[in-house]
Structure 1
Amino acid sequence: MIEVDKIWIVIISDRLRRRRPLNGRWEPALLAPLILTVVVAGLAFATPRKVAFSRILTAAPALAASMWPVLPTVLLGLLCLLIMIGLSLIYPDLGTWYTVAAIFAVTVAAAYASHIRLQREKTLGHVRLVADAAQEVVMRPLPRFVGRVEIESLYLAAAAQARIGGDFYEAVDTPYGVRLLIGDVRGKGLAAVGAAAAVVNSFREAAYDEPDLRDVARRLETSSTRHSVAFATQDPSESFATAILAEIPDNDSRIGLLNCGHPPPLLLHAGQLGILQPTAPSPLLNLAELIGGEYSVESVRFTPGDLLLLYTDGVIETRNRTGEFFPLPDWLRRQSPAVPRELLDRLHRDLLDHSNGGLDDDIAVLAVRLREHPEHEGPGPSGSGVA
C-alpha cells in the first residue's frame, strides 16, 4: 500500500506542476481538502470560540478520501489533529477532545474508503486493458492508405465507459481489390460483441478466398448462424446483423456494393450527394433461411476524389432534445471539401452536439476516398473517436 501511495503522491505532484487533467478533474480540485483545512483553521483561530468553526475540520479527511490516496489522507487527518491541539492551547475550554475523537474516527474511515477506491480503480484499469485487447481483436486499427484508397474510421460507444459494442467494421486488401465491411449486430453487451467478432473474423478469411462478394456474404451468413446456434441467448429470428460489403477494384472506376438490410451508403461525387439505396436488398445475416432471398451486388461509379460514407444506424438515429434525428445526408451536403479524417472529426463533434453528449446507440463510420495515385507513405492506424 505504501508503494502505491508513493506513486500517487508523485503523480499528483507531477500533475499539479504540469497543470493537466487527472481523471477528468483539473488539478486545483485536488487541493480542495487542503484548502478546506487551511480556511477552517484560519476561521477557527480568528473567530470567537463560541462559533466553533473547528468542528468542520472533520470534513477535510472525508473529502480527501474521494480523490487522494491513503497516505496523504492520513497525513491530512494528522494535520487536522495538530490544529485542534493548537486550538486547545488558546481555548482550553473549547471541548477540543470531542472534536479530536471525531477527526480520528473520520480519518480512519476515510483511509479505508480511499484504499477501497484505489482497489476498485485498479480493477477497472485491468478491465479496460482487457476491453482494449478485445477491441483490437474485433476492430483492429485500419490502415489509413491501401493503394489508391484512403480510409478513416470513427467509433463511438453509447456507454460512457464502454470500449466496444455490437457495431463493427473491417477493411482488407485482397487480390480482388480493397474490400470493406461495416455492420451492426442486434442487441448490446457481450452477446453482441461475440456475434460481431464472429462476422468480422469470417470476413477476414472469406474476403481473401472468395472472388465473388455474394460468396463472401454467404460465408458471413454461415458464421453468423453457427455462432447464433452455439451461443443462443434469444429466439433465432431476433438474432441478426445488418451489413454492407464493398469491393473497390484496383484499376476500375466502379465499385461493388452488397447491402444486407443496412442503412444506405452516401456517395459524394463532384459536389453532388447520392444516397445508394439498393434496388434488390440482400437478406440480413442469420436470417437468410427464414426470409429467403438471393444476395445482390450493385455496381456504382467511384472515381478519384469521390467520397464514400459507410455508417451504422446509430448515426441517423441520434436524437436531440426535441426527438429529431440527426440529418446525415443534409449534414454531408453542407460540409466543405475536406479529407476523410477532418470530415469524421466534424461528424464526431456535431453528433455529440446534436445529442447533447448523450448517445443512445453505438456508432461506427467509415469514410473512404479514392486517390489519383497510390499512397507511398507507410500505412498508419486510422484514427478512432471513442466514448
Structure 2
Amino acid sequence: MCLLPAVLLLLAVVIDFATPETVSAAALYAAAPLTAAPVLSLRGTIITGVVAFLLDLAMFGYFGYHGTAPQVSELSMVATVAVIAAFLNRLLYHLQTQLRSARDVAAAVQHAILPDPPKTAGPLSFTARYEAAQADAQIGGDLYAVVDTPFGVRCMIGDVRGKGMQAVRAVATSIVTFREAAMQEPDLIVLLERLERAVTLEAEQVGGVTELEGFVTGVVAEFSRHGRQVRLVNRGHPAPVLFLADTARYVEPRQPGLPLGMTALSAGSECVETLTFPEGATLLLYTDGITEARNEKGAFYDIVGRFTGRRHADPDALLDALLSDVHRHSGGRRADDMALLAITHTRPTA
C-alpha cells in the first residue's frame, strides 16, 4: 500500500507519453496524494503532492504547452487535491490516535474485570481465552473467574444476556459477587444464592428491564484440595466437556437449572453434580459462542464430535486448536463472544 502513490505517478507519466496529446493523466496525478494520505506520514503526503504537481508541470513543458487555461486549471486542481490530502492525513492521524487510546482503555478495562486466571493452584493448572464477537472490541458479555479459597478452588464461567455497557456492568457485578462469596461461603449452594440475588438486583436496577429479562447463564465448579473431584452446578449454560486421554464427553446435568436471575420461575432445589477428576483430565468450561458457531450449511459446532480421538500436549494447545477449528468451521464469522476456561489436573497431591 505504501508504494501505491508512486505507482500511480509512474502510471500517469507512462500514459502521458503513450497516448495522444489530447489525453491527460490529470486524474492519476490528483489521485496519488489522496492515496498517500492514509498510508504515508504527513511528510510523505506533502512530498507526493509536490512531486505530482511538478511531474504534471514537466509534462506540459515537455509537450510545449505554456500557460493555457486548461493547463492552469489542471495544475490548480492537482495542487488543491495535494493540500486536501495533507489535511486528510492529519485528520486520519488524530482519529487513529483516539482509536488506539480507546483500545488501550478497553484492554485495561477487560484486564481489570477479567484478569488472567492463576497459572496453577495446587494440583490444578488453568488456561483461558476470550474473543469478542466484534473484531475491534476487547470485552463483551462473557465472563470467567478462578478463586483459590479455603474450601477448594472455585471457578465460574458465565454469559450475560444482552450487549453493550449494560452487559459489561452485569459482568462486573457477577465477577465481584462470585469472588467475594467464593471466599466466604463454605456451602456451594449458598454461594449460588448470593450470585442469584446479585444478578436479580442488577437486573432490577437497570431502567426498563424486569427481573425476568435480565439473567446470566453459568457454570460454577468447585475442585477439592487433592484435585481428584469436582462439584458442578449448571444454571442454564452449555454443558462442560471432560477430556481424558483421547476421549471427550459432555457433562450434562441430571436436572437442568434455570439461569441466574430467574428465581421467580424456579420451583426445585439446586442440583450439584459430583464428578471424578483424575490426573491428566481437563475440564473445559465455555460459552455458547463456541457451540452456536455455524458453518455454511447451518450446522452447529460440536466439540465432542470434533475432538474425540485427538490428543493435545497441554491446555494451551487444546484451546488454540479449538479456537482455530471453530474459526474454520464458521468461516471466520463471529456471531457471539467466546470465552473458554480449561482446568487440568496436572499431578496427584501427597
TM-score (norm 2): 0.93
Counterpart code for 1:242: T
- Residue type at the aligned position of 1:77: G
Q: Check whether the contact 2:153–2:224 (CA below 8 A) recurs between aligned residues.
A: yes
Q: Which moved more, 1:182-191 or 1:220-229?
A: 220-229
Q: Distance in 1 between matches of 2:206 and 2:184?
A: 26
- Could you say which residue in structure 2 is the equivalent of 1:58? 30
1:294 aligns to 2:269 (yes or no): yes
| C-alpha contact 1:283 1:292 (8 A) present in aligned 2 | no
Indicate how the Cα distance of structure 1 residues 55 and 363 shifts in structure 2: closer, same or farther if over 3 A, else same. closer
* Matching residue's letter, 2:256: P
- Which of 348, 362, 365 is equivalent to 2:340? 365
CA contact (8 A) 1:169 1:364 kept: yes
Are residue 328 (structure 1) and residue 303 (structure 2) matched? yes
Rounded to whole Å, the distance in 2 between the matches of 1:252 and 1:373 is 7
> Superposition pairs for residues 138-287 of structure 1, below 5 Å?
138-287=113-262
Structure 2 distance, partners of 1:252, 1:32, is 59
1:20 is aligned to: none
User: Could you tell me which of 1, 7, 21 is aligned with 1:49?
Assistant: 21
CA RMSD of aligned residues (A): 1.8
Q: Which amino acid counterpart does residue 283 of structure 1 have in structure 2?
A: L
Question: Counterpart of 2:322?
Answer: 347
Q: Aligned pair in 2 of structure 1 residues 166, 52: CA closer, same or farther (>3 Å)? A: same
Aligned residue number for residue 64 of structure 2: 92
Is 2:51 aligned against 1:67?
A: no
Residue identity matched to 1:36: L
Give deviations 1:214-267, integer Å, cap 9, x for gaps. 111111111112211222342321210111110111125211101111111111
Instruction: Kindly indicate whether the alpha-carbon contact (under 8 Å) linking 2:287 and 2:339 is maintained by their aligned counterparts in 1.
Output: yes
- The CA distance in 2 between the partners of 1:159 and 1:166, in whole Å, is 12
Q: Residues 322-357 of structure 1: CA distance to partner in whole angstroms, max 9, x if unpaired?
A: 111111111121422431100111111111111111
Using CA pairs under 8 Å that are at least 6 residues apart, name the structure with larger relative contact order, 1 or 2: 1
CA contact (8 A) 1:281 1:295 kept: no
Find the aligned partners of 1:246 and 1:197 in 2 and give their Cα distance.
19
Is this contact kept in 2: 1:139–1:169, CA < 8 A?
yes
Cα deviation for residue 273 of structure 1 reads 2.7
Whole-Å separation in 2 of the counterparts to 1:314 and 1:284:
17
Confirm or deny: 8 A CA contact 1:164 1:193 kept in the other structure.
Answer: yes
Give the aligned residue type for 2:191: V
Equivalenced residue count is 346
CA contact (8 A) 1:283 1:295 kept: no
2:83 pairs with one of 95, 108, 114: 108
**Is the CA contact (8 Å cut-off) linking 1:87 and 1:96 kept in structure 2?**
no
Distance 1:111 1:159 in 2: 31
Check conservation: 1:282, 1:294, Cα contact below 8 A. Answer: no
By how many angstroms is 1:42 displaced?
4.0
2:148 is paired with a residue whose SS is: strand
Residues in 1 aligned to 2:242 and 2:56: alpha-carbon distance in whole angstroms? 72
Contact in 1 for aligned 2:296/2:330 (Cα 8 Å) = yes
Equivalent in the alignment of 1:23: none
Structure 1 residues 335 and 233: CA distance shift in structure 2, 3 A: farther
Identify the range of structure 1 (179-188 vs 80-89) with the bigger mean alpha-carbon deviation: 80-89
Worse overlay, 191-200 or 247-256: 247-256
Q: What is the deviation of 1:373?
A: 4.9
Please state if 1:313 is matched with 2:288. yes
Aligned to 1:126: 101
Q: Which moved more, 1:230-239 or 1:303-312?
A: 230-239
